[in-house]
Amino acid sequence: MAVQKEIDYQIEYGDPAVVGGLSVFSREFDDAYFYEGGDLGAHYTPEATSFSLWAPTSSEALVVLYSSWDGGPEREILMTRGDKGVWNTVIPGNLEGMLYTYRVLVSDQWNEAVDPYAKAVSINGDKGALIDLSKTNPHRWTNDRPPFDHPLDSIIYEVHIRDLSIHPLSGITHKGKYLGACEPGTTGPEGIATGLSHIRSLGVTHVQLLPVYDYATESVDETNPDECYNWGYDPKNYNAPEGSYSLNPYDPGTRILELKTLIQTLHDNGLRVIMDVVYNHVYDGYRIHFTKLVPGYYLRYKNNGRFSNGSGCGNDTASERRMMRRFIVESVLYWAQEYHLDGFRFDLMGLLDVETMNEIRRRLDELDPTIVTLGEGWVMQTELPESMRANQINAGELPGIGHFNDHLRDALKGSLFNSHASGFAGGEHGLERQIERGIAAAVAYNYEIRGFALEPVQTVSYVEAHDNHTLWDKLLLSNPQENDEIRRQRHMLASAVVLTSQGIAFLHAGQEFMRTKEGHDNSYRSPDPVNWLDWQLCARNQNSVLYMKKLIALRKAHPAFRMRTAGQIRNHLVFEQAPGGSVAFTLRDHANNDDCKHIFVVHNANPYPITLNLPLPGAWTVILGLGQCGSFDRINGGPIEIFGLSSVVLGVYEHMQAYPV
């Protein structure tokens, strides 16, 4: 018990003589030691390298230099304590190619750790690397981002670097690598486009990459990357890329060059890039550099001294503390500026605090307001007052930040926690109102149709993502008696609801060809055959791929599906009378400056036809559905029949102009 008390005392106070008896958990500590200088980390030049480390609870600090990732230290250089507990030193000479760590004395214990601000790391991220970042820029490296007006124009395609190319028939040379994800003109079974060419052909606006920062060796060992698989939600070094996706993880600069090459290539192909970031927890709260350098400060603790664990991953970061907030904000800005990223998806965002997320949005707006921010605003328990949590309940305090709409997801395919729940797309009645809430982007449409969002930019409409069952697998669980053709129709119906809903549209890679993970609902470390994009399946389901392309083209052609404000939605979106098991709505009076005067959308999840009356007078043009997609058939009043398990989109054009999809 005495030993545990000593450990707890060190975590909370470090050396009391160093910090004046202030607890690292206290506001007084934050105020006394908050550092605003811009020099933290290592700053290399050919003439000298400067090092600055924030470690106020330490009584001594050293820079340790290494010449190889697996060798012993070559030199230890004493650092000098300065203002606000920041340690500094300058080492003359050209240290390019050297590796380094910090050693700090906390109470009577020496800890060695990687620099949290390291921008390049050794293999497996155990040491920082001193490199000339300008040498990591590809031959073509521009500041130009693909043209883009507003986050609500986003159609996001979420993909894992390895999944995209690792299938044996992907036709991609550098399978599982950054460079494989940007190989042009690749083809697979039956000559179909694969990889980048496939994504580009869909017409999406953004590619969202599952984590590509440096994640834990325990997840994937970079010395043998083919032996293990992981999604990457195990942060180790936040400001350096993961090495397992590199052709040469032993060279700290190569992974940076390759990731930049991927981003530039996606930009050159008209695709913006979102990075999946995980600032809510670290891979190991005891061994992470934060804890070694300033014990207790960077993570949240319960009153009993144990880690807060709302993440379910062992710990939660203390984003509300000023130096942790500063680290997160500056990390995001670094990725946006150094790597030209166009958006950030925040994992378990509901564990972060409102002020941190708003500061990120404010700083990104200064850089480029078209940079997208979205996250998982789940309502989760953590050692932070409820009013401070960046979740759906507090969405009103988070302007400009999107939340994944799990209410629409579950209404469409059934609850994640009940494999038998089929959802609207699976034929379950009584969910029409929930679907309408999703179509209205979860804004306050009227007394009954309302959700968490103040404005549509705060809602991400989706039905599947990397987490949980794919839509196909969920439909198989909930309706096992149905044949594959019926299941395909239900699947396409669900995608049609997503792409005709207000808010930001989000697609999971492979959703366009009925991706399956063979029933796995949490494949974060499952083998490749579970996770890969199966290009044979894609070849078999080309009709589904074509349908997804038509839906994407429909959304892009009609700004009425992308209204900018809740007021516009209330003024122009009208839900129409429809039989049970179906939802119908109109987008009226040139919504969001659409050339089309009125749009009429019907989603019929019943296996049989339904009949509805056209809601407004005029000559209605078939835009999607009712036989040949994009036909110029015109309907002048009267009832119309909508086939079972289908979606239909009609439009009235004042100038006899049609937008066939």
Active site (catalytic) residues:
347, 376
- In whole angstroms, what is the distance from residue 187 CA to residue 349 CA? 37
**Residues in Cβ contact with 32 at an 8 Å cutoff, skipping those fewer than 6 apart:** 19, 20, 22, 84
- Using alpha carbons, list the distances in angstroms from residue 246 to 171, 176, 195, 547: 18, 9, 17, 35
Tokens 């179909």 label which residue?
192
- In whole angstroms, what is the distance from residue 443 CA to residue 558 CA? 20
Q: Which residues face 635 on adjacent strands?
A: 620
Answer positive or negative: Cα dihedral of 321, 325, 327, 328. positive
To 10 degrees, the CA torsion angle through 466, 213, 200, 341? 120
Alpha helix (H) ranges present in 14-143?
Answer: 16-19, 27-33
- Using alpha carbons, list the distances in angstroms from residue 657 to 154, 554, 597: 25, 15, 11
Tokens 């620099």 label which residue?
115
**Residues in Cβ contact with 203 at an 8 Å cutoff, skipping those fewer than 6 apart:** 155, 549, 552, 553, 556
User: What is the rounded end-to-end Cα distance, in angstroms, of the chain?
Assistant: 71
Q: Which two tokens stand for residue 367?
A: 């850089």
Q: How many other C-beta atoms can be found within 10 angstroms of the C-beta atom of residue 632?
A: 11
- 497 close to 399: Cβ distance less than 8 angstroms: no
- Using alpha carbons, list the distances in angstroms from residue 603 to 352, 461, 463, 598: 37, 16, 15, 17
- 357 close to 330: Cβ distance less than 8 angstroms: no
Query: Computed over its alpha carbons, how large is the radius of gyration of the chain?
Result: 26
- In whole angstroms, what is the distance from residue 471 CA to residue 10 CA? 49
Chain centroid, CA 636 distance in Å: 45
Counting other chains too, the contacts that 627-636 makes at CB distance below 8 Å and 24 or more residues apart are 629/547, 629/550, 629/660, 629/661, 630/550, 630/660, 630/661, 631/660, 632/658, 632/660
Q: Which residues face 63 on adjacent strands?
A: 77, 102
Angle between helices 542-557 and 195-202 in degrees, nearest 10: 50
- 257 close to 136: Cβ distance less than 8 angstroms: yes
- In whole angstroms, what is the distance from residue 569 CA to residue 577 CA? 18
- In whole angstroms, what is the distance from residue 650 CA to residue 558 CA? 12
- In whole angstroms, what is the distance from residue 201 CA to residue 269 CA? 10
- In whole angstroms, what is the distance from residue 537 CA to residue 592 CA? 38
- In whole angstroms, what is the distance from residue 136 CA to residue 142 CA? 13
Q: Which two tokens stand for residue 238?
A: 């936040």
